[in-house]
Amino acid sequence: MRDLINQIVQELVDHPEQVVVTEIQGHHAHVIEVEVAKEDRGKVVGRRGATADALRTLLKAASGKHGKRFILEIIED
């Protein structure tokens, strides 16, 4: 799942080399944290959070196959 989000986010931003995606595994849920360059953050969030919501929808759809819950967090410094 981390690789899926990493690949999608790298295609969205202007500075793909600064994309850092980490996965924190918990008992009931896995948290996927996305960190991008400050000027690219708006591209990942999207207008009114539309892009972030779409990424969360993809995670939810793909997570059914794994039987786990995934949570997307966009890290802001």
The secondary structure of the chain as a DSSP string is -HHHHHHHHHHHSS-GGG-EEEEEE-SSEEEEEEE--GGGHHHHH-GGGHHHHHHHHHHHHHHHHHT-EEEEEE---
Domain coordinates of the chain in residue numbers? 2-74
21-76 pLDDT tens trace: 999 998 888 999 999 999 999 999 999 999 999 999 999 998 887 788 999 999 98
What is the architecture of the domain spanning 2-74?
Answer: 2-Layer Sandwich (3.30)
1-23 pLDDT tens trace: 899 999 999 999 999 999 999 99
What pLDDT sits at residue 77? 74
- Predicted TM-score (pTM) of the model is 0.86
